[in-house]
């Protein structure tokens, strides 16, 4: 299992990434649109999204690094914030000599043949998407066809850097990628409500395995979205699935697969699935370090 988790990190670029993208095909954009339609109820065209919750980013340079090499590379990542805006994103995979995977011609050629892209293309693209989106949740993973696994790990790390920037914490975030999961319960909660709900999430680890996953959306009274009959009926009609169905599938999938990127996407719930994967990766990073402190996400909310 340890090997499997190791390979699912940012350093992995494999044909499985291409297969994962293929299974979503043209329905992915449709799924996202359908779920967003339910989440925002009936909304007309917006001139510009307005941020209504989430602390602003503090100016500075915020850094994250993987500790361990996988296939001879590890991730390094930094963002620069100026006047509350992300002005630079510098994500890369480097070897022991500090050389970028973007410059490995042989690797790029091989991956290009198999997946249709390579680090020389998708690494700059991911950095560009992050600066454009200004938040991790707004990064369009589907725009990086052929490198989905790397894109999802990028989003996880981008989110952790956003959290650091909100707190003004410039200490380097060290990721013990591939490390054994330490026994304990690891918890993450969103601070702010979006469409009346926020994410609460915990995983339990025993013997280097995730034995329990409790991902949910709750309202101000602590009631689960699973129990919102009106919402579930409306979403089922529009998207073909609903919280009552996809939330248990997410939790079952994580316990079964142990690796978020190996869980099958639930058709019609792409938006929620992306958030689930992003937070699951962050909880696994916490478990790799044995840090059971609750992670509070001051999630950015737009209307």
Closest CA to 228 of 238, 218, 237: 218
Residue 231 and residue 150 share a domain: no
Residue 185 and residue 296 share a domain: yes
Residue 108 and residue 65 share a domain: yes
pLDDT at residue 18 tops 80: no
The total of structural domains in the chain comes to: 2
Continuous segment of H or E residues that includes residue 209: strand 209-218
Residues 284 and 181: beta-carbon distance below 8 Å: yes
What mean pLDDT value characterizes the chain? Answer: 86
At 265, is the pLDDT very low, low, confident or very high (cuts 50, 70, 90)? confident
Q: Alpha-carbon distance 187 to 293, whole Å?
A: 7
114 three-state secondary structure: helix
* Residue 262 DSSP label: G
At 4, is the pLDDT very low, low, confident or very high (cuts 50, 70, 90)? very low
Residue 193 and residue 290 share a domain: yes
User: Which pLDDT value is given to residue 274?
Assistant: 92
Domain end, chosen from 136, 151, 175, is at 175
Least confident segment among 1-10, 87-96, 174-183: 1-10
pTM: 0.83
At 26, is the pLDDT very low, low, confident or very high (cuts 50, 70, 90)? very low
- Residue 106 in any domain: the answer is yes
Domain end, chosen from 144, 175, 206, is at 175
Domain end, chosen from 124, 142, 175, is at 175
Angle formed at CA 175 by CA 203 and CA 96, multiple of 5 degrees: 150
Residues 281 and 27: beta-carbon distance below 8 Å: no
Q: Alpha-carbon distance 244 to 174, whole Å?
A: 36
Residue 278 and residue 134 share a domain: no
Q: State the residue range of the domain holding 264.
A: 27-48+181-302
Residue 280 and residue 133 share a domain: no
- Residue 90 in any domain: the answer is yes
Residues 170 and 128: beta-carbon distance below 8 Å: no
Q: Alpha-carbon distance 268 to 164, whole Å?
A: 32
31 three-state secondary structure: helix
Mean pLDDT for the stretch of residues 176-203:
97
At 48, is the pLDDT very low, low, confident or very high (cuts 50, 70, 90)? low
Continuous segment of H or E residues that includes residue 251: helix 243-257
Give CA separation, 205 vs 73, 252, 292, in Å.
27, 14, 11
């Amino acid at each position: 299992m340890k090997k499997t988790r190791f390979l699912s990190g940012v350093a992995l670029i494999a044909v499985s990434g291409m297969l994962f993208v293929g299974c979503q095909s043209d329905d992915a954009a449709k799924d996202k649109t359908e779920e967003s339609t339910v989440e925002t109820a009936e909304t007309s065209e917006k001139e510009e999204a307005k941020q209504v919750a989430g602390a602003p980013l503090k100016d500075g340079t915020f850094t994250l690094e993987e500790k361990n090499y996988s296939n001879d590379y590890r991730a390094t990542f930094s963002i620069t914030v100026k006047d509350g805006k992300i002005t630079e994103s510098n994500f890369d995979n480097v070897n022991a000599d500090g050389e970028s995977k973007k410059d490995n011609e042989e690797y790029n050629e091989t991956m290009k043949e198999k997946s249709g892209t390579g680090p020389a293309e998708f690494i700059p693209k991911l950095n560009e998407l992050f600066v454009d989106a200004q938040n991790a949740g707004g990064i369009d993973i589907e725009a990086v066809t052929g490198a989905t696994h790397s894109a999802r790990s990028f989003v996880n790390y981008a989110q952790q850097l956003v959290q650091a920037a909100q707190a003004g914490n410039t200490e380097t975030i060290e990721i013990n990628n591939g490390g054994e999961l330490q026994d304990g319960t690891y918890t993450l909660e969103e601070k702010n409500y979006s469409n009346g709900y926020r994410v609460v999430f915990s995983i339990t680890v025993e013997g280097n395995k995730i034995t329990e996953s409790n991902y949910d959306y709750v309202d101000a009274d602590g009631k689960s979205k699973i129990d919102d009959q009106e919402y579930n009926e409306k979403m089922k009609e529009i998207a073909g699935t609903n919280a009552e169905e996809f939330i248990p599938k997410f939790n079952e999938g994580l316990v079964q697969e142990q690796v978020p990127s190996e869980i099958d996407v639930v058709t019609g719930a792409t938006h929620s699935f992306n958030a689930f994967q992003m937070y699951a990766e962050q909880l696994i990073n916490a478990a790799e370090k044995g840090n059971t402190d609750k992670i509070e996400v001051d999630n950015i909310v737009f209307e």
